[in-house]
Amino acid sequence: MGCADGKRLEVMSVSKDAGMVKKMANDRFKVLMAGPDRSVHGGISGVVNNYYDAGLDKLIDLYYIGTMVEGSKGAKLLCAVKAYLRFLVKLPRYDIVHVNMASDSSYYRKSIFVRTAKICRKKIVIHQHGGNFPEFYEKELSDAGRRHVREVLSMGDAFLVLGTAWKKFFGAIIGEDKITVLPDAIQIPAAVDKQYGVHKILFLGRLCKAKGIGELLAVMPGLRANYPDVRLYLGGIWEDEELKARAHSMKDCVTDLGWVSGSVKQKYLQECDIFVMPSYFEGQSVSILEAMAYGCGIVASETGGIPDMIIEGETGIFAVPQDVKTLEEGLQRLLSEPELCRRLGENARRKAENEFSMEDNINKLLSVYESVRGGER
C-alpha cells in the first residue's frame, strides 16, 4: 500500500489510544488552498466542490480561500484584496499552499499568492486548469511576460496538469520533473438506466463563443430536417447576448435550462442520450466526465485534455474545433445509430469508472502532498 493510501486509512480510522489520536492530529496535511470562490459558475469551482463533496476536508486540515467572485470589477477587486489579506493571516499555520490557476487574470492573481508562499518558505503545489494557457503564453505575452510566467511556475514544488498534452506543453516551459498528471474526477453514479434513440442533446458549460455555442446552434436546423423531434438542452450561464438571442429564437428545437446543478443536472444527464462539447479550447471538461459517467454518447472537440477522455470510435466522436461540418456529422451519426450511441456511452461509463473516480484522484493528490512535504511523517 502506498503512502497516500496509508495516510487515508490512518486519518479515517478511529483509535482508542490517546497517543495515536494525537499523532494522527499532528500528522494531517495542513493545506491552504486558493482558487475562485466556490459559488462561481465554472470548471475550477466545480473541481473544488467535488473535493469537498468527496470529503477531502475530512482527510486533511484544509482551508480554502476564494480569490474571485462573479459580478462587477469592483466586487472582484474587493474579493481579491480580502482573499490576499486572509491568506497572509492563515499562511503561518499551514505547510502546503495549493494554488488553482488558469490563464489571464487568474494567473496574475495567483502569481502573488505563489510568490508570497515562496518567500515564506512554504511548499507549493500549482494546479493548472486553464485550457487557454497556450494562447495566453505564446500570443498575448511579451518576452518579459513569458519570463515572468516561467519564474512563477518554477516556484512550485509540484505542478499538476489535467492531461498528457498539458504535461508536454508545460514541460517545455518548466521541465517535466515536477509535473504530475492529475485528471479531474467525479463521483460515479451507482447505476444508470439510459434510453437511447430519444434524440435529446445536452450541453453543460459556459454559454459563449469559445465553447462553440455558435457552431452548435448553426447545426440544429440541419439536424431537425432529418430528425424533427431532436432537441438541444443548454445548461449554463450566458456570456454572449447575441448567442442568447439566437438560441431563444429557436425554441422549436432549443431549450435554455439556465445554470443547472445537483438533482436537476442529474435529471438531464440521465434523460439525454447525447452530450456535446464543441469547445475551441479546453483544459479538461468536468461536464464530459459527468456525461461519460451517465453513459451518454459524446461528440466533443479534439482539443486540450479531451483526447485523454475520449477515444475516437470507442468512447465518443471527435469534431474539429470551430468546424460546423464535422460537428454536424458527429451528431448525425449518433442520432441515426442508437446502437452506436449505446456502445460509445457504455464504454465511456466504464472508462470513467476505471480512470476518473474521486477516490483515485484524492489518493494521487495525497501522494503529491506527501512528496512535496519530503516524506516526513
**CATH number of the domain encompassing residue 14:** 3.40.50.2000
- Residues in the chain with pLDDT < 70? 1-26, 375-377
Q: C-alpha grid cell for residue 188?
A: 460515479
pLDDT of residue 19: 45
Structural domain contains residue 366: yes
Structural domain contains residue 194: no
CA 181 to chain centre: 13
Residues 368 and 343 in one domain: no
Q: Which domain holds residue 212?
A: 200-355
Identify the bridge partners of residue 319 per DSSP, sorted by sequence position. 301
* Domain tally, the chain: 2
Structural domain contains residue 318: yes
Residues 217 and 158 in one domain: no
pLDDT of residue 283: 84
pLDDT of residue 4: 38
Residues 58 and 180 in one domain: yes
3-state secondary structure of 121: coil
Structural domain contains residue 311: yes
Residues 164 and 280 in one domain: no
Structural domain contains residue 37: yes
pLDDT of residue 145: 96
Nearest to 302 by CA among 286, 287, 290, 317: 317
Residues 213 and 135 in one domain: no
Residues 270 and 303 in one domain: yes
Residues 137 and 214 in one domain: no
pLDDT of residue 216: 98
Residues 80 and 166 in one domain: yes
pLDDT of residue 377: 33
Structural domain contains residue 377: no
Put simply, whether the predicted model's pTM sits higher than 0.95 gets the answer: no
pLDDT tens by residue, 144-192? 999 999 999 999 999 999 999 999 999 999 999 999 999 999 989 988 8
